[in-house]
A and B are shown apart, each in its own frame.
Chain A
Protein backbone atom coordinates (compact mmCIF):
# COMPACT_ATOMS: atom_id res chain seq x y z
CA UNK A 1 0.00 0.00 0.00
CA UNK A 2 1.13 3.47 -0.80
CA UNK A 3 1.28 6.08 1.92
CA UNK A 4 1.37 9.62 0.67
CA UNK A 5 3.11 11.97 3.02
CA UNK A 6 1.45 15.29 2.52
CA UNK A 7 3.77 18.20 2.97
CA UNK A 8 1.74 20.93 1.30
CA UNK A 9 -1.87 21.76 0.52
CA UNK A 10 -1.09 21.04 -3.12
CA UNK A 11 -1.02 17.33 -2.30
CA UNK A 12 -4.75 17.55 -1.64
CA UNK A 13 -5.58 20.02 -4.36
CA UNK A 14 -3.65 18.65 -7.32
CA UNK A 15 -5.41 16.46 -9.88
CA UNK A 16 -3.32 13.38 -9.16
CA UNK A 17 -2.71 11.95 -5.72
CA UNK A 18 0.90 10.98 -6.39
CA UNK A 19 3.35 10.67 -9.25
CA UNK A 20 2.58 7.02 -9.98
CA UNK A 21 -1.06 7.92 -10.51
CA UNK A 22 -0.09 10.74 -12.86
CA UNK A 23 2.05 8.28 -14.81
CA UNK A 24 -0.82 5.81 -15.12
CA UNK A 25 -3.18 8.48 -16.41
CA UNK A 26 -0.44 9.66 -18.77
CA UNK A 27 -0.19 6.14 -20.15
CA UNK A 28 -3.95 6.00 -20.53
CA UNK A 29 -3.83 9.28 -22.46
CA UNK A 30 -1.12 7.85 -24.73
CA UNK A 31 -3.24 4.74 -25.26
CA UNK A 32 -6.36 6.66 -26.30
CA UNK A 33 -4.23 8.93 -28.50
CA UNK A 34 -2.64 5.92 -30.19
CA UNK A 35 -5.82 3.87 -30.58
CA UNK A 36 -6.53 5.10 -34.14
CA UNK A 37 -3.10 3.77 -35.22
CA UNK A 38 -4.38 0.23 -34.77
CA UNK A 39 -7.34 0.91 -37.03
CA UNK A 40 -5.08 2.54 -39.62
CA UNK A 41 -2.98 -0.63 -39.59
CA UNK A 42 -5.92 -2.99 -40.08
CA UNK A 43 -7.44 -0.52 -42.53
CA UNK A 44 -10.95 -0.70 -41.09
CA UNK A 45 -12.32 2.17 -39.03
CA UNK A 46 -15.71 0.65 -38.22
CA UNK A 47 -14.86 -0.16 -34.61
CA UNK A 48 -13.24 3.25 -34.14
CA UNK A 49 -16.67 4.71 -34.87
CA UNK A 50 -18.06 2.55 -32.06
CA UNK A 51 -15.35 3.80 -29.69
CA UNK A 52 -16.16 7.39 -30.66
CA UNK A 53 -19.78 6.61 -29.89
CA UNK A 54 -18.75 5.37 -26.43
CA UNK A 55 -16.88 8.61 -25.78
CA UNK A 56 -19.95 10.63 -26.73
CA UNK A 57 -22.07 8.49 -24.42
CA UNK A 58 -19.47 9.02 -21.70
CA UNK A 59 -19.81 12.81 -22.07
CA UNK A 60 -23.59 12.47 -21.75
CA UNK A 61 -22.97 10.14 -18.82
CA UNK A 62 -20.81 12.76 -17.11
CA UNK A 63 -23.67 15.23 -17.54
CA UNK A 64 -26.05 12.93 -15.72
CA UNK A 65 -23.39 11.89 -13.21
CA UNK A 66 -22.97 15.48 -12.09
CA UNK A 67 -26.69 15.82 -11.49
CA UNK A 68 -27.54 12.37 -10.12
CA UNK A 69 -24.25 11.05 -8.80
CA UNK A 70 -22.92 14.25 -7.28
CA UNK A 71 -25.94 16.46 -6.59
CA UNK A 72 -28.31 13.60 -5.77
CA UNK A 73 -31.03 14.73 -8.20
CA UNK A 74 -32.30 11.84 -10.32
CA UNK A 75 -33.21 12.59 -13.91
CA UNK A 76 -34.94 10.29 -16.36
CA UNK A 77 -35.03 12.96 -19.02
CA UNK A 78 -31.51 13.74 -20.07
CA UNK A 79 -32.14 12.73 -23.67
CA UNK A 80 -34.26 15.90 -23.82
CA UNK A 81 -31.23 18.10 -23.24
CA UNK A 82 -29.26 16.06 -25.77
CA UNK A 83 -32.06 16.74 -28.25
CA UNK A 84 -31.90 20.47 -27.43
CA UNK A 85 -28.17 20.50 -28.07
CA UNK A 86 -28.39 18.46 -31.24
CA UNK A 87 -31.14 20.49 -32.93
CA UNK A 88 -29.69 23.82 -31.79
CA UNK A 89 -26.37 22.76 -33.28
CA UNK A 90 -28.02 21.83 -36.58
CA UNK A 91 -29.90 25.13 -36.76
CA UNK A 92 -26.97 27.30 -35.71
CA UNK A 93 -24.75 25.60 -38.28
CA UNK A 94 -27.55 26.01 -40.80
CA UNK A 95 -27.66 29.72 -39.98
CA UNK A 96 -24.05 29.93 -41.11
CA UNK A 97 -22.25 30.06 -37.76
CA UNK A 98 -18.84 28.38 -37.71
CA UNK A 99 -18.78 25.10 -35.78
CA UNK A 100 -16.42 26.43 -33.11
CA UNK A 101 -19.11 28.96 -32.13
CA UNK A 102 -22.23 26.96 -32.92
CA UNK A 103 -21.15 23.93 -30.88
CA UNK A 104 -20.49 25.61 -27.52
CA UNK A 105 -23.42 27.96 -28.06
CA UNK A 106 -25.81 25.06 -28.61
CA UNK A 107 -24.62 23.56 -25.34
CA UNK A 108 -25.08 26.82 -23.45
CA UNK A 109 -28.55 27.46 -24.86
CA UNK A 110 -29.52 23.86 -24.07
CA UNK A 111 -28.25 24.51 -20.54
CA UNK A 112 -30.27 27.71 -20.23
CA UNK A 113 -33.44 26.00 -21.52
CA UNK A 114 -32.78 23.10 -19.20
CA UNK A 115 -32.47 25.43 -16.22
CA UNK A 116 -35.73 27.14 -17.17
CA UNK A 117 -37.46 23.75 -17.15
CA UNK A 118 -35.59 22.74 -14.00
CA UNK A 119 -36.54 25.68 -11.78
CA UNK A 120 -40.15 24.61 -11.19
CA UNK A 121 -39.25 20.90 -11.29
CA UNK A 122 -36.49 21.26 -8.69
CA UNK A 123 -39.05 21.84 -5.98
CA UNK A 124 -39.71 18.12 -6.20
CA UNK A 125 -37.67 15.44 -4.50
CA UNK A 126 -36.55 11.90 -5.24
CA UNK A 127 -39.14 9.79 -7.01
CA UNK A 128 -41.29 12.83 -7.85
CA UNK A 129 -38.39 14.58 -9.57
CA UNK A 130 -37.66 11.36 -11.47
CA UNK A 131 -41.31 11.21 -12.59
CA UNK A 132 -41.34 14.85 -13.71
CA UNK A 133 -38.20 14.36 -15.78
CA UNK A 134 -39.63 11.12 -17.15
CA UNK A 135 -42.66 13.07 -18.38
CA UNK A 136 -40.31 15.59 -19.99
CA UNK A 137 -38.54 12.77 -21.78
CA UNK A 138 -41.80 11.32 -23.09
CA UNK A 139 -42.87 14.74 -24.39
CA UNK A 140 -39.60 15.32 -26.23
CA UNK A 141 -40.31 13.26 -29.31
CA UNK A 142 -43.71 14.93 -29.67
CA UNK A 143 -42.12 18.34 -29.43
CA UNK A 144 -39.60 17.37 -32.08
CA UNK A 145 -42.53 16.48 -34.36
CA UNK A 146 -44.35 19.73 -33.56
CA UNK A 147 -41.27 21.91 -34.09
CA UNK A 148 -40.95 20.69 -37.66
CA UNK A 149 -39.47 23.89 -39.17
CA UNK A 150 -36.40 23.47 -36.95
CA UNK A 151 -36.26 19.73 -36.50
CA UNK A 152 -37.57 18.28 -39.76
CA UNK A 153 -40.32 16.51 -37.80
CA UNK A 154 -40.83 12.82 -38.49
CA UNK A 155 -38.82 12.99 -41.71
CA UNK A 156 -35.79 14.00 -39.67
CA UNK A 157 -32.92 16.33 -40.31
CA UNK A 158 -29.45 15.83 -41.72
CA UNK A 159 -26.59 17.03 -39.56
CA UNK A 160 -24.09 19.21 -41.44
CA UNK A 161 -20.41 18.33 -41.38
CA UNK A 162 -18.02 19.96 -38.95
CA UNK A 163 -15.70 22.58 -40.36
CA UNK A 164 -12.90 23.94 -38.19
CA UNK A 165 -10.74 26.50 -40.00
CA UNK A 166 -11.22 24.69 -43.27
CA UNK A 167 -10.72 21.19 -41.88
CA UNK A 168 -13.75 19.14 -42.83
CA UNK A 169 -14.72 16.51 -40.30
CA UNK A 170 -17.27 13.84 -41.05
CA UNK A 171 -17.88 10.69 -39.11
CA UNK A 172 -17.63 8.41 -42.17
CA UNK A 173 -15.17 10.11 -44.48
CA UNK A 174 -12.74 11.27 -41.76
CA UNK A 175 -13.33 8.95 -38.80
CA UNK A 176 -9.91 9.64 -37.28
CA UNK A 177 -10.39 13.40 -37.11
CA UNK A 178 -13.83 12.91 -35.64
CA UNK A 179 -12.40 10.58 -32.99
CA UNK A 180 -9.77 13.11 -31.94
CA UNK A 181 -12.34 15.91 -31.84
CA UNK A 182 -14.65 13.93 -29.57
CA UNK A 183 -11.69 12.86 -27.44
CA UNK A 184 -10.64 16.49 -27.01
CA UNK A 185 -14.14 17.47 -25.90
CA UNK A 186 -14.27 14.51 -23.51
CA UNK A 187 -10.90 15.35 -21.93
CA UNK A 188 -11.89 19.00 -21.58
CA UNK A 189 -15.11 17.95 -19.86
CA UNK A 190 -13.25 15.65 -17.47
CA UNK A 191 -10.90 18.50 -16.61
CA UNK A 192 -13.82 20.88 -15.94
CA UNK A 193 -15.52 18.20 -13.88
CA UNK A 194 -12.43 17.53 -11.76
CA UNK A 195 -11.94 21.25 -11.18
CA UNK A 196 -15.53 21.56 -10.09
CA UNK A 197 -15.13 18.78 -7.54
CA UNK A 198 -12.08 20.35 -5.91
CA UNK A 199 -13.62 23.80 -5.51
CA UNK A 200 -16.53 25.19 -3.46
CA UNK A 201 -19.09 24.74 -6.25
CA UNK A 202 -18.61 20.98 -6.45
CA UNK A 203 -18.48 20.64 -2.69
CA UNK A 204 -21.80 22.44 -2.38
CA UNK A 205 -23.29 19.89 -4.80
CA UNK A 206 -22.12 16.88 -2.82
CA UNK A 207 -23.24 18.60 0.37
CA UNK A 208 -26.77 18.85 -1.04
CA UNK A 209 -26.65 15.20 -2.04
CA UNK A 210 -25.74 14.05 1.45
CA UNK A 211 -27.77 16.40 3.66
CA UNK A 212 -29.90 19.26 2.41
CA UNK A 213 -30.60 20.60 5.87
CA UNK A 214 -26.99 20.88 6.84
CA UNK A 215 -26.04 22.26 3.43
CA UNK A 216 -28.46 25.10 4.18
CA UNK A 217 -27.06 25.51 7.66
CA UNK A 218 -23.61 25.96 6.07
CA UNK A 219 -24.88 28.80 3.94
CA UNK A 220 -25.53 27.01 0.66
CA UNK A 221 -28.44 28.43 -1.30
CA UNK A 222 -30.19 25.18 -2.28
CA UNK A 223 -32.20 26.56 -5.19
CA UNK A 224 -29.23 28.30 -6.71
CA UNK A 225 -26.85 25.36 -6.28
CA UNK A 226 -29.35 22.89 -7.69
CA UNK A 227 -30.08 25.18 -10.64
CA UNK A 228 -26.33 25.56 -11.24
CA UNK A 229 -25.89 21.81 -11.22
CA UNK A 230 -28.82 21.45 -13.60
CA UNK A 231 -27.38 24.13 -15.88
CA UNK A 232 -23.97 22.48 -16.05
CA UNK A 233 -25.54 19.08 -16.53
CA UNK A 234 -27.90 20.21 -19.28
CA UNK A 235 -25.08 22.11 -21.01
CA UNK A 236 -22.87 19.04 -21.05
CA UNK A 237 -25.77 16.87 -22.20
CA UNK A 238 -26.43 19.42 -24.95
CA UNK A 239 -22.82 19.20 -26.13
CA UNK A 240 -23.02 15.40 -26.06
CA UNK A 241 -26.26 15.63 -28.06
CA UNK A 242 -24.62 17.86 -30.67
CA UNK A 243 -21.74 15.38 -31.04
CA UNK A 244 -24.23 12.51 -31.11
CA UNK A 245 -25.94 14.24 -34.03
CA UNK A 246 -22.66 14.51 -35.92
CA UNK A 247 -22.02 10.86 -35.17
CA UNK A 248 -25.46 9.72 -36.33
CA UNK A 249 -25.45 11.97 -39.39
CA UNK A 250 -29.24 12.03 -39.45
CA UNK A 251 -31.60 12.56 -36.54
CA UNK A 252 -35.37 12.04 -36.25
CA UNK A 253 -37.95 12.34 -33.52
CA UNK A 254 -37.04 8.83 -32.40
CA UNK A 255 -33.32 9.49 -31.87
CA UNK A 256 -33.58 11.07 -28.44
CA UNK A 257 -36.37 9.00 -27.00
CA UNK A 258 -37.11 7.64 -23.57
CA UNK A 259 -34.85 4.63 -24.15
CA UNK A 260 -31.89 6.99 -24.53
CA UNK A 261 -32.71 8.68 -21.21
CA UNK A 262 -32.99 5.36 -19.44
CA UNK A 263 -29.81 4.10 -21.06
CA UNK A 264 -27.95 7.11 -19.65
CA UNK A 265 -29.22 6.42 -16.14
CA UNK A 266 -28.38 2.75 -16.55
CA UNK A 267 -24.89 3.69 -17.65
CA UNK A 268 -24.05 5.70 -14.59
CA UNK A 269 -25.53 3.12 -12.21
CA UNK A 270 -23.56 0.30 -13.86
CA UNK A 271 -20.44 2.45 -13.98
CA UNK A 272 -20.68 3.61 -10.39
CA UNK A 273 -22.69 6.54 -9.02
CA UNK A 274 -20.61 9.40 -7.71
CA UNK A 275 -17.42 8.72 -9.69
CA UNK A 276 -16.33 10.38 -12.93
CA UNK A 277 -14.85 7.02 -13.89
CA UNK A 278 -18.34 5.57 -13.59
CA UNK A 279 -19.55 7.51 -16.62
CA UNK A 280 -16.77 6.02 -18.73
CA UNK A 281 -17.11 2.45 -17.44
CA UNK A 282 -20.85 2.64 -17.99
CA UNK A 283 -20.41 3.99 -21.52
CA UNK A 284 -18.04 1.13 -22.34
CA UNK A 285 -20.54 -1.47 -21.11
CA UNK A 286 -23.44 0.16 -22.92
CA UNK A 287 -21.32 0.54 -26.06
CA UNK A 288 -19.98 -3.02 -26.04
CA UNK A 289 -23.25 -4.89 -25.51
CA UNK A 290 -24.79 -4.20 -28.97
CA UNK A 291 -21.47 -4.97 -30.67
CA UNK A 292 -21.10 -8.16 -28.63
CA UNK A 293 -24.63 -9.26 -29.49
CA UNK A 294 -24.11 -8.58 -33.19
CA UNK A 295 -20.78 -10.44 -33.22
CA UNK A 296 -22.27 -13.29 -31.21
CA UNK A 297 -25.09 -13.62 -33.73
CA UNK A 298 -22.69 -13.67 -36.65
CA UNK A 299 -20.50 -16.22 -34.90
CA UNK A 300 -23.43 -18.52 -34.12
CA UNK A 301 -24.88 -18.35 -37.61
CA UNK A 302 -21.59 -18.85 -39.46
CA UNK A 303 -20.07 -21.50 -37.19
CA UNK A 304 -23.05 -23.48 -35.95
CA UNK A 305 -25.68 -22.35 -38.44
CA UNK A 306 -27.88 -21.23 -35.56
CA UNK A 307 -29.91 -18.11 -36.13
CA UNK A 308 -31.14 -16.22 -33.10
CA UNK A 309 -33.44 -13.37 -33.87
CA UNK A 310 -35.15 -12.48 -30.66
CA UNK A 311 -36.61 -8.98 -30.80
CA UNK A 312 -35.74 -6.89 -27.76
CA UNK A 313 -32.76 -9.03 -26.82
CA UNK A 314 -30.63 -5.94 -26.20
CA UNK A 315 -33.14 -4.30 -23.87
CA UNK A 316 -33.62 -7.54 -21.97
CA UNK A 317 -29.88 -7.95 -21.53
CA UNK A 318 -29.54 -4.33 -20.36
CA UNK A 319 -32.33 -4.81 -17.86
CA UNK A 320 -30.78 -8.06 -16.61
CA UNK A 321 -27.38 -6.43 -16.14
CA UNK A 322 -28.94 -3.46 -14.32
CA UNK A 323 -30.83 -5.74 -11.94
CA UNK A 324 -27.66 -7.72 -11.25
CA UNK A 325 -25.72 -4.54 -10.47
CA UNK A 326 -28.37 -3.16 -8.12
CA UNK A 327 -28.52 -6.52 -6.33
CA UNK A 328 -24.84 -7.40 -6.16
CA UNK A 329 -22.79 -4.26 -6.74
CA UNK A 330 -24.66 -1.02 -6.03
CA UNK A 331 -21.38 0.87 -6.28
CA UNK A 332 -21.04 -0.09 -9.92
CA UNK A 333 -18.01 -1.20 -11.90
CA UNK A 334 -15.77 1.52 -10.50
CA UNK A 335 -16.80 0.58 -6.98
CA UNK A 336 -15.93 -3.04 -7.75
CA UNK A 337 -12.54 -1.94 -9.07
CA UNK A 338 -11.91 0.08 -5.89
CA UNK A 339 -12.78 -2.94 -3.77
CA UNK A 340 -10.48 -5.27 -5.70
CA UNK A 341 -7.65 -2.75 -5.50
CA UNK A 342 -8.12 -2.22 -1.77
CA UNK A 343 -8.24 -5.99 -1.28
CA UNK A 344 -4.78 -6.39 -2.76
CA UNK A 345 -3.37 -3.25 -1.16
CA UNK A 346 -4.41 -4.35 2.31
CA UNK A 347 -4.01 -8.10 1.83
CA UNK A 348 -4.82 -9.95 4.06
CA UNK A 349 -6.61 -7.32 6.11
CA UNK A 350 -9.49 -6.43 3.82
CA UNK A 351 -12.86 -6.47 5.52
CA UNK A 352 -16.15 -7.00 3.71
CA UNK A 353 -17.85 -3.98 5.23
CA UNK A 354 -15.11 -1.49 4.41
CA UNK A 355 -17.21 0.11 1.71
CA UNK A 356 -20.51 -0.22 3.49
CA UNK A 357 -22.70 2.75 2.81
CA UNK A 358 -24.70 4.33 5.56
CA UNK A 359 -27.08 6.20 3.36
CA UNK A 360 -28.04 5.88 -0.25
CA UNK A 361 -27.96 8.60 -2.85
CA UNK A 362 -31.60 9.38 -3.16
CA UNK A 363 -33.43 10.79 -0.19
CA UNK A 364 -36.44 8.65 -1.04
CA UNK A 365 -34.71 5.36 -0.40
CA UNK A 366 -33.31 6.35 2.92
CA UNK A 367 -34.69 4.47 5.85
CA UNK A 368 -35.59 7.13 8.33
Chain B
Protein backbone atom coordinates (compact mmCIF):
# COMPACT_ATOMS: atom_id res chain seq x y z
CA UNK B 1 0.00 0.00 0.00
CA UNK B 2 1.35 3.39 -0.83
CA UNK B 3 1.95 5.74 2.07
CA UNK B 4 2.60 8.89 0.12
CA UNK B 5 0.89 9.62 -3.17
CA UNK B 6 1.72 12.61 -5.30
CA UNK B 7 -0.41 13.01 -8.38
CA UNK B 8 0.39 15.37 -11.25
CA UNK B 9 1.96 17.97 -8.98
CA UNK B 10 3.02 21.15 -10.74
CA UNK B 11 4.73 24.15 -9.21
CA UNK B 12 5.67 27.31 -11.05
CA UNK B 13 7.88 30.18 -9.92
CA UNK B 14 6.82 32.88 -12.35
CA UNK B 15 7.69 31.49 -15.77
CA UNK B 16 9.87 28.70 -14.44
CA UNK B 17 8.21 25.34 -14.00
CA UNK B 18 10.09 23.90 -11.02
CA UNK B 19 8.01 20.75 -10.75
CA UNK B 20 6.24 19.66 -13.91
CA UNK B 21 3.39 17.20 -13.62
CA UNK B 22 5.22 14.81 -11.31
CA UNK B 23 3.45 11.74 -9.94
CA UNK B 24 5.02 9.32 -7.51
CA UNK B 25 4.16 6.86 -4.77
CA UNK B 26 6.21 5.91 -1.75
CA UNK B 27 5.15 2.54 -0.41
CA UNK B 28 5.14 1.54 3.22
CA UNK B 29 8.52 0.28 4.35
CA UNK B 30 10.46 1.19 1.22
CA UNK B 31 13.40 3.47 0.56
CA UNK B 32 12.61 5.71 -2.37
CA UNK B 33 15.28 7.94 -3.88
CA UNK B 34 15.00 11.03 -6.04
CA UNK B 35 18.01 11.71 -8.22
CA UNK B 36 18.75 14.22 -10.91
CA UNK B 37 21.07 17.06 -11.87
CA UNK B 38 21.15 20.34 -9.91
CA UNK B 39 17.99 22.36 -10.33
CA UNK B 40 15.95 19.31 -11.28
CA UNK B 41 13.34 20.09 -8.63
CA UNK B 42 14.15 17.33 -6.14
CA UNK B 43 14.25 19.51 -3.06
CA UNK B 44 11.23 21.37 -4.36
CA UNK B 45 9.27 18.11 -4.27
CA UNK B 46 10.28 17.81 -0.59
CA UNK B 47 9.17 21.36 0.04
CA UNK B 48 5.84 20.52 -1.56
CA UNK B 49 5.38 17.57 0.78
CA UNK B 50 6.43 19.74 3.75
CA UNK B 51 3.84 22.29 2.56
CA UNK B 52 6.40 25.10 2.34
CA UNK B 53 5.16 25.57 -1.23
CA UNK B 54 1.66 25.31 -2.64
CA UNK B 55 1.47 23.32 -5.87
CA UNK B 56 -0.42 25.02 -8.70
CA UNK B 57 -2.01 21.73 -9.67
CA UNK B 58 -2.11 18.16 -8.47
CA UNK B 59 -2.72 16.42 -5.20
CA UNK B 60 -0.55 15.14 -2.36
CA UNK B 61 -2.01 12.46 -0.11
CA UNK B 62 -0.35 10.90 2.89
CA UNK B 63 -1.78 7.88 4.66
CA UNK B 64 -5.12 8.56 2.97
CA UNK B 65 -5.26 12.20 4.07
CA UNK B 66 -5.10 15.22 1.81
CA UNK B 67 -1.96 17.11 2.83
CA UNK B 68 -2.92 20.17 0.78
CA UNK B 69 -5.70 20.89 3.26
CA UNK B 70 -3.14 21.33 6.04
CA UNK B 71 -0.41 23.85 6.86
CA UNK B 72 3.33 23.24 7.13
CA UNK B 73 3.29 22.96 10.92
CA UNK B 74 0.56 20.30 10.80
CA UNK B 75 2.49 18.03 8.44
CA UNK B 76 4.79 16.56 11.14
CA UNK B 77 1.67 15.63 13.09
CA UNK B 78 0.80 13.04 10.42
CA UNK B 79 4.19 11.41 10.86
CA UNK B 80 6.38 13.09 8.27
CA UNK B 81 9.80 14.21 9.43
CA UNK B 82 12.51 15.79 7.32
CA UNK B 83 16.07 17.02 7.15
CA UNK B 84 17.40 19.91 5.13
CA UNK B 85 20.00 20.16 2.42
CA UNK B 86 21.85 22.97 4.19
CA UNK B 87 21.55 21.78 7.78
CA UNK B 88 18.92 23.76 9.66
CA UNK B 89 19.65 22.98 13.28
CA UNK B 90 19.03 25.16 16.33
CA UNK B 91 22.56 26.49 16.72
CA UNK B 92 22.30 28.02 20.15
CA UNK B 93 21.08 24.81 21.75
CA UNK B 94 22.66 21.52 22.71
CA UNK B 95 22.27 18.27 20.77
CA UNK B 96 19.85 17.02 23.41
CA UNK B 97 17.68 20.14 23.17
CA UNK B 98 17.64 19.87 19.39
CA UNK B 99 16.40 16.30 19.55
CA UNK B 100 13.79 17.29 22.14
CA UNK B 101 12.36 19.86 19.72
CA UNK B 102 11.90 16.94 17.34
CA UNK B 103 9.46 15.53 19.90
CA UNK B 104 7.23 18.57 19.53
CA UNK B 105 4.48 16.68 17.70
CA UNK B 106 4.04 14.39 20.72
CA UNK B 107 3.51 17.31 23.04
CA UNK B 108 0.53 16.82 25.35
CA UNK B 109 0.89 19.59 27.93
CA UNK B 110 -0.23 23.17 27.57
CA UNK B 111 1.29 26.50 28.46
CA UNK B 112 -0.03 26.63 32.01
CA UNK B 113 1.21 23.23 33.10
CA UNK B 114 4.57 24.06 31.50
CA UNK B 115 4.93 27.30 33.44
CA UNK B 116 4.21 25.75 36.82
CA UNK B 117 5.94 22.49 35.81
CA UNK B 118 3.02 20.34 36.82
CA UNK B 119 3.48 16.61 37.52
CA UNK B 120 1.95 15.96 34.11
CA UNK B 121 4.57 18.14 32.43
CA UNK B 122 7.26 16.33 34.42
CA UNK B 123 6.03 12.90 33.30
CA UNK B 124 5.87 14.13 29.73
CA UNK B 125 9.47 15.33 29.97
CA UNK B 126 10.55 11.90 31.21
CA UNK B 127 8.83 10.25 28.24
CA UNK B 128 10.41 12.65 25.75
CA UNK B 129 13.83 12.14 27.25
CA UNK B 130 13.51 8.36 27.19
CA UNK B 131 12.60 8.49 23.49
CA UNK B 132 15.43 10.90 22.72
CA UNK B 133 17.99 8.78 24.56
CA UNK B 134 17.09 5.87 22.31
CA UNK B 135 17.84 7.98 19.26
CA UNK B 136 21.13 9.15 20.82
CA UNK B 137 22.01 5.52 21.43
CA UNK B 138 21.07 4.47 17.92
CA UNK B 139 23.13 7.19 16.23
CA UNK B 140 26.08 7.06 18.67
CA UNK B 141 25.64 10.68 19.66
CA UNK B 142 26.59 10.18 23.33
CA UNK B 143 29.88 12.15 23.10
CA UNK B 144 28.04 15.22 21.80
CA UNK B 145 24.92 14.96 23.95
CA UNK B 146 25.39 18.23 25.87
CA UNK B 147 27.49 20.09 23.28
CA UNK B 148 26.28 23.22 21.53
CA UNK B 149 25.54 22.70 17.83
CA UNK B 150 27.56 25.82 16.99
CA UNK B 151 30.80 24.04 17.88
CA UNK B 152 30.18 20.67 16.22
CA UNK B 153 31.83 19.44 13.02
CA UNK B 154 29.74 19.22 9.86
CA UNK B 155 29.48 15.43 9.80
CA UNK B 156 28.09 15.31 13.34
CA UNK B 157 25.55 18.00 12.56
CA UNK B 158 24.26 15.91 9.68
CA UNK B 159 23.72 13.03 12.11
CA UNK B 160 22.07 15.31 14.68
CA UNK B 161 19.64 16.49 12.04
CA UNK B 162 18.80 12.89 11.19
CA UNK B 163 18.37 12.26 14.91
CA UNK B 164 16.03 15.20 15.32
CA UNK B 165 13.85 13.84 12.53
CA UNK B 166 13.92 10.35 14.04
CA UNK B 167 13.03 11.68 17.50
CA UNK B 168 9.60 12.57 16.17
CA UNK B 169 8.93 8.85 15.50
CA UNK B 170 7.77 9.42 11.93
CA UNK B 171 6.15 7.05 9.47
CA UNK B 172 7.93 8.70 6.58
CA UNK B 173 11.38 10.23 6.75
CA UNK B 174 12.40 12.78 4.12
CA UNK B 175 16.18 13.02 3.82
CA UNK B 176 17.50 15.87 1.70
CA UNK B 177 21.01 14.86 0.61
CA UNK B 178 21.94 12.89 3.74
CA UNK B 179 25.45 12.16 2.46
CA UNK B 180 26.44 15.53 0.98
CA UNK B 181 29.68 16.73 2.48
CA UNK B 182 30.28 13.50 4.38
CA UNK B 183 33.47 11.47 4.21
CA UNK B 184 33.48 7.92 2.82
CA UNK B 185 33.25 6.37 6.29
CA UNK B 186 30.49 8.75 7.35
CA UNK B 187 28.57 7.94 4.18
CA UNK B 188 28.86 4.23 4.98
CA UNK B 189 27.53 4.87 8.49
CA UNK B 190 24.67 6.79 6.94
CA UNK B 191 23.90 3.85 4.63
CA UNK B 192 23.78 1.45 7.61
CA UNK B 193 21.53 3.78 9.54
CA UNK B 194 19.14 4.22 6.64
CA UNK B 195 18.94 0.45 6.29
CA UNK B 196 18.29 0.04 10.02
CA UNK B 197 15.67 2.78 9.95
CA UNK B 198 13.90 0.93 7.17
CA UNK B 199 14.22 -2.64 8.38
CA UNK B 200 14.25 -2.36 12.19
CA UNK B 201 12.14 0.71 12.81
CA UNK B 202 9.84 0.12 9.85
CA UNK B 203 10.02 3.75 8.76
CA UNK B 204 9.63 4.52 5.07
CA UNK B 205 12.38 6.72 3.71
CA UNK B 206 12.30 9.11 0.80
CA UNK B 207 15.60 10.72 -0.03
CA UNK B 208 17.25 13.10 -2.42
CA UNK B 209 20.83 12.08 -3.05
CA UNK B 210 23.61 12.64 -5.54
CA UNK B 211 25.87 9.86 -4.27
CA UNK B 212 24.79 6.99 -6.54
CA UNK B 213 26.78 4.55 -4.39
CA UNK B 214 24.55 5.31 -1.43
CA UNK B 215 21.42 5.36 -3.60
CA UNK B 216 22.05 1.95 -5.10
CA UNK B 217 23.06 0.53 -1.71
CA UNK B 218 19.90 1.41 0.17
CA UNK B 219 17.03 2.33 -2.12
CA UNK B 220 14.45 0.03 -3.61
CA UNK B 221 13.08 2.35 -6.23
CA UNK B 222 14.69 5.40 -7.77
CA UNK B 223 13.13 8.23 -9.71
CA UNK B 224 15.21 10.49 -11.90
CA UNK B 225 14.09 14.08 -12.40
CA UNK B 226 15.38 16.76 -14.74
CA UNK B 227 13.97 20.26 -15.23
CA UNK B 228 11.06 19.32 -13.00
CA UNK B 229 10.00 16.38 -15.18
CA UNK B 230 10.10 12.71 -14.42
CA UNK B 231 12.66 10.94 -16.63
CA UNK B 232 12.55 7.37 -15.40
CA UNK B 233 11.59 5.26 -12.39
CA UNK B 234 12.92 1.86 -11.47
CA UNK B 235 15.73 0.19 -9.62
CA UNK B 236 18.97 2.11 -9.23
CA UNK B 237 20.65 0.09 -12.00
CA UNK B 238 17.73 0.56 -14.40
CA UNK B 239 17.61 4.30 -13.87
CA UNK B 240 21.38 4.68 -14.16
CA UNK B 241 21.48 2.90 -17.49
CA UNK B 242 18.37 4.60 -18.88
CA UNK B 243 19.37 6.55 -22.02
CA UNK B 244 17.25 9.60 -21.17
CA UNK B 245 18.88 9.83 -17.74
CA UNK B 246 22.37 9.55 -19.19
CA UNK B 247 21.45 12.27 -21.64
CA UNK B 248 20.23 14.56 -18.85
CA UNK B 249 23.44 14.13 -16.91
CA UNK B 250 26.01 14.04 -19.70
CA UNK B 251 24.31 15.84 -22.58
CA UNK B 252 23.46 14.48 -26.02
CA UNK B 253 27.00 14.30 -27.25
CA UNK B 254 26.40 16.85 -30.00
CA UNK B 255 28.75 19.37 -28.43
CA UNK B 256 31.59 16.87 -28.27
CA UNK B 257 31.00 16.03 -31.94
CA UNK B 258 31.54 19.66 -32.92
CA UNK B 259 34.58 19.57 -30.64
CA UNK B 260 36.11 16.64 -32.50
CA UNK B 261 35.30 18.05 -35.95
CA UNK B 262 37.23 21.18 -35.10
CA UNK B 263 40.20 19.20 -33.92
Contact = CB atoms under 8 A, between A and B. Distances in A.
A149 interface: no
Contacts, number: 121
A195 B101 contact: no
Nearest to B127: A9
Contacts of A215: 101
A218 B111 contact: no
A214 B84 contact: yes
Interface in A199-251: 199-204, 206-207, 209-211, 213-222, 228
A219 B105 contact: yes
A274 to B, nearest CB: 6
A309 interface: no
Interface of B: 50, 52, 71-77, 81-82, 84, 88-93, 96-97, 100-105, 107, 109, 111, 114-117, 121-122, 124-126, 128-130, 133, 149-151, 164, 168
B75 A200 contact: no
Contacts of A211: 88-91
Nearest to B174: A217
B89 A210 contact: yes
A176 to B, nearest CB: 29
A219 B73 contact: yes
A196 B114 CA distance: 6
A357 interface: yes
Contact of A203 (B50, B81, B97): B97
Nearest to A228: B111
A346 interface: no
28 contacts: A9-B125, A12-B96, A192-B115, A195-B116, A196-B115, A198-B125, A199-B109, A199-B121, A199-B124, A200-B104, A200-B114, A200-B128, A202-B114, A203-B101, A206-B92, A207-B101, A207-B104, A210-B92, A211-B91, A214-B88, A217-B50, A218-B104, A218-B168, A219-B74, A220-B104, A221-B73, A222-B73, A274-B92
A359 interface: yes
A13 interface: yes
Given A192-B116, A204-B104, A217 B122 contact: no
Interface string A176-209: 0000000000000000100110111111101101
Given A198-B125, A203-B100, A210-B92, A217 B82 contact: yes
A216 B72 contact: yes
Contacts of A200: 100, 103-104, 107, 109, 114, 124, 128
A273 to B, nearest CB: 10
A354 interface: yes
A7 interface: no
B84, B103, B114, B133 interface centre (most CB from chain A within 10 Å): B114
A358 interface: yes
B114 A195 contact: yes
Contacts of B121: 195, 199
Contacts of B90: 206-207, 209-211, 214
Contacts of B75: 217, 219
B52 A213 contact: yes
A196, A200, A215 interface centre (most CB from chain B within 10 Å): A200
A357 B72 contact: no
A2 interface: no
Contacts of A123: none
A352 interface: no
Contact of A216 (B73, B100, B103, B130): B73
Contacts of A228: 111
A356 B104 contact: no
Given A213-B88, A219-B105, A356 B117 contact: no
